[in-house]
Amino acid sequence: MTDLIRLTDVEKNYTRGKEKISIFDKLTMRIEQGDFVAIMGPSGSGKTTLLNLLGGTDKADKGAIEFDGKRIDNLNEGQLTAWRAANVGFIFQFYNLMPILTAAQNVELPLLLTKLAPKKRRENVATALKIVGLEDRAKHRPREMSGGQQQRVAIARAIVSDPKLLLCDEPTGDLDRTTADEILGTLQVLNRDLGKTIIMVTHDAQAAKFAKRTLHLDKGRFEQAELAA
Amino acid sequence: MNDRALMWKNLWRKPVRTILLVVSITIAFAILCVMLSFNDAISNVRTLPTRMITLSKINFTEPLPMAHYDRIARMEGVAVATHMNWFGGYFQEMPRGFLPVFAVDPETYFQVYAEDLQIPAEQRDAFFNDPTAMLVAAPVAEKFGWRVGQRIPIKSNIFTNSTSGDSTWEFMLAGTIPTPQGSSQTGSVLIHYDYFNETRTFGRDRIGWVPFLTTSAELNDRVSNAIDQRFANSADETSTNDEATFNKSFTAQLGNIALVITLVVGSAFIAILLIVGTTMALAVRERTKEVGVMKTLGFSSGRVLRMVLGESMLLAFLGAGFGALLALGLLAMAAGAGGGGPPVSLAPSALLWSALIALGLGLLTGLAPALQAYRMRIIDALGRR
Ligand SMILES: Nc1ncnc2c1ncn2[C@@H]1O[C@H](COP(=O)(O)OP(=O)(O)OP(=O)(O)O)[C@@H](O)[C@H]1O
Ligand SMILES: [Mg+2]
């Protein structure tokens, strides 16, 4: 299998006032195409920061980040934005849907960045909603839907432009067990049947079981044994 | 869906707030349009360099003795003189029926205002030959639905008719005067002075003012001095000016009002600028997280900037558009109500100014929040939680 993501000696620091906080120091990891990785770790260990680096919404201070064999750490903001639109889908803990848009319009949002014809767009939106089992909620607004349904819309939005990589930051953190399991099942299907590579941050060991493997992050480092795998 | 649809939806996120904003912007633009249209109508009246006007030194409502006219007409440098008298006319009811009716000496009046009185000869003769005839600016006849040959009862709020004992006179509509942009006859109603003078119960043999033509514009100063000196120290002193100066002094009085209105409209716009500006800033701050999400999804900073700016532009132009429509309605209503002057139409310059000001308003109110959205970093926008 080929590596979709390769991090080499990545360094990330934050400055708070005059103080410099090191989040990652020489972080190295690789994730294969088609993998489903759960990342666990205590609060403040750098999980969200890692997702931000992988998704190009934040910049590393040093080191190389490769995606599909190409470096993304040296892209400028505009290039990163375009790269993100084409290659990464994001799923957040609190869904982050646009309240003024219907489910279908929320899912359509990433397609505004493509040159697809309106008809093709509608088809893709319908397909994405079908995959998450919400075809009958297309006209509903977020506030008219349950948390689980909103997260499904968010998943549909993340996959509608057919990206290779899905980044999920505690996607079930706000949901009850049953709903969480349904969402995780959907992610599993996306991974297994559609070949999406998924990286999911979670605090929930139950949730992590849906992934193919789990990495434990602590103080900016993965447990060595896991990385070797 | 596209970016524009998204802007539109964003604009109506809080409908009440948006409606209030649109209403206040609309009102400001309506006032602006009405004011500019009036200004346009007033400053657009054509003048003749040789045309002068003599009126009472006290003010233009003070009548002059008829003898003044005879003397002025015979003065050196005066080609032809006529005289006009304010009738205080209206049709049926005030203020809707308000009419600027002037009692004139037809033949000399047609000489002094020849360029604006190009009407068919038979209509002119019909006017000249019937003492009870009147001529009316075409839009006035149209407004009241009068037809040539009809007898129209016109009331005066100043004079009483000695034959009927009340304030009504009947005039035969002899013809209509076309009044293109800038015509001195805009809105005018002309009746015979002689007939009016004989049938009125008071104020006989006095006239309002004396318009005349000089033989050459170079003589204007000399003629005006001669006239005013001739009547100096008499019971009825005069003030003589060329038409342009007269109009200017007349509009100067209006000009002071215009200045006040400008200040009022100006401060209204500044208030709106602040209100819309802070509201837009607030609206975008409320959407911080959404901006972060859009950028995460792959919307570029430039595109986000354009969308915020577009939204404030939309708001400004929506208000300006409705304002122009409202102004159109107000002007039509004013024209329908009479209200003290010739009908005023929405000036193209008012539309141009509105568009320019809307552009400025949209830019000024949208720029700060748009830049804020442009600069917003994803990790900050999405927050720590
Ligand atoms: N913008 C920032 N400025 C300064 N420090 C930051 C910033 N973002 C994150 N940090 C710090 O970086 C560290 C890692 O943060 P991160 O959000 O990645 O943790 P996390 O593992 O996602 O935690 P949680 O489980 O609570 O979400 C924390 O100590 C945090 O305080
Ligand atoms: Mg986190």
pLDDT tens across B16-74, in order? 999 999 999 999 999 889 888 877 777 777 788 999 999 998 877 789 999 999 999 99
Cα–Cα distance for residue pair A142/A151, rounded to 1 Å: 10
Instruction: Using the predicted structure, report yes or no on whether residue B259 has a pLDDT greater than 90.
Output: no
Mean of pLDDT over chain B: 90
pLDDT band at A229 (very low <50, low <70, confident <90, very high): very low
Please judge whether A113 and B299 are an interchain contact, meaning their C-beta atoms are less than 8 angstroms apart: yes
Cα–Cα distance for residue pair B285/B275, rounded to 1 Å: 15
Give me the half-sphere count of Cα atoms (radius 13 Å) on the Cβ side of residue B203: 20
Closest ligand 1 atom to residue A50 Cα is 18
* Residue among A33, A37, A29 nearest A8 (CA): A29
Q: What is the model's pLDDT at position B256? A: 67
Q: What is the model's pLDDT at position B268? A: 87
Residue whose Cα lies nearest atom 10 of ligand 1: it is A14
Q: What is the model's pLDDT at position B239? A: 93
* Residue among B64, B85, B87 nearest B158 (CA): B87
Residues of A in contact with B298 (CB under 8 A): 81-82, 84-86, 110, 113
Mean pLDDT of A36-42: 94
Q: What is the model's pLDDT at position B260? A: 76
The best mutation among A16, A19, A39, A47 to test binding of ligand 1, ranked by most ligand atoms within 8 Å of the C-beta, falls on: A47
Ligand nearest to the CA of A203: 1
pLDDT in tens, A188-216: 999 999 999 999 999 999 999 999 999 99
Q: Cα B168 to chain center, whole Å?
A: 29
Residues of B in contact with A166 (CB under 8 A): none
Instruction: Provide the angle, in degrees to the nearest 10, between the axes of the packed helices B15-43 and B243-286.
Output: 170
Map out the domains of chain B as residue ranges.
3-43+256-383, 51-252
User: CA of A86: which chain B residue's CA is closest?
Assistant: B298
Instruction: Using the predicted structure, report yes or no on whether residue B342 has a pLDDT greater than 60.
Output: no
Q: What is the model's pLDDT at position B143? A: 86
Instruction: Using the predicted structure, report yes or no on whether residue B340 has a pLDDT greater than 50.
Output: no
Instruction: Using the predicted structure, report yes or no on whether residue B339 has a pLDDT greater than 80.
Output: no
* Residue among B41, B115, B52 nearest B246 (CA): B52
Closest ligand 1 atom to residue A46 Cα is 18
Mean pLDDT of B259-263: 77
Residue whose Cα lies nearest atom 17 of ligand 1: it is A48
A187 Cα: distance to centroid of ligand 1 (angstroms): 25
Ligand nearest to the CA of A13: 1
Angle at B217 between CA B47 and CA B104, to 5 degrees: 55
pTM of the model: 0.74
pLDDT band at A2 (very low <50, low <70, confident <90, very high): confident
Mean pLDDT of A100-113: 95
Q: What is the model's pLDDT at position A190? A: 94
Q: What lines the ligand 1 site, CB under 6 Å?
A: A 14, 16, 21, 23, 41, 43-49; B 379
Q: What is the model's pLDDT at position B255? A: 63
Cα–Cα distance for residue pair A11/A59, rounded to 1 Å: 10
Closest ligand 1 atom to residue B384 Cα is 17
Q: What is the model's pLDDT at position B46? A: 78
**Token pair in block for residue A13:** 């620091």
The percent of residues in chain B predicted with pLDDT above 70, rounded, is 94
Q: What is the model's pLDDT at position B250? A: 64
- In this predicted structure, which of A97-106, A143-152, B58-67, B284-293 has the lowest mean pLDDT? B58-67
Q: What is the DSSP string of B314-354?
A: HHHHHHHHHHHHHHHHHHHHHHHH--SSS--PPPHHHHHHH
Please judge whether A55 and B296 are an interchain contact, meaning their C-beta atoms are less than 8 angstroms apart: yes
Instruction: Using the predicted structure, report yes or no on whether residue B75 has a pLDDT greater than 80.
Output: yes
Please judge whether B296 and A90 are an interchain contact, meaning their C-beta atoms are less than 8 angstroms apart: yes
Mean pLDDT of B256-268: 78
Please judge whether B295 and A108 are an interchain contact, meaning their C-beta atoms are less than 8 angstroms apart: no
Q: What is the model's pLDDT at position B37? A: 85
The percent of residues in chain A predicted with pLDDT above 90, rounded, is 84
Mean of pLDDT over chain A: 92
The percent of residues in chain B predicted with pLDDT above 90, rounded, is 70
Residues of A in contact with B13 (CB under 8 A): 99-100
Please judge whether B297 and A57 are an interchain contact, meaning their C-beta atoms are less than 8 angstroms apart: no
Q: What is the model's pLDDT at position A106? A: 97
Please judge whether A82 and B294 are an interchain contact, meaning their C-beta atoms are less than 8 angstroms apart: no
Mean pLDDT of A124-144: 94
Tell me the sheet residues that pair with A39.
A201, A215
User: CA of B6: which chain A residue's CA is closest?
Assistant: A101
Closest ligand 1 atom to residue A47 Cα is 21
Mean pLDDT of B286-309: 95
DSSP A120: H
Angle at B165 between CA B163 and CA B170, to 5 degrees: 60
Cβ proximity of A3 and A46 under 8 Å: no
Q: Cα A3 to chain center, whole Å?
A: 17
Cα–Cα distance for residue pair A125/A106, rounded to 1 Å: 9
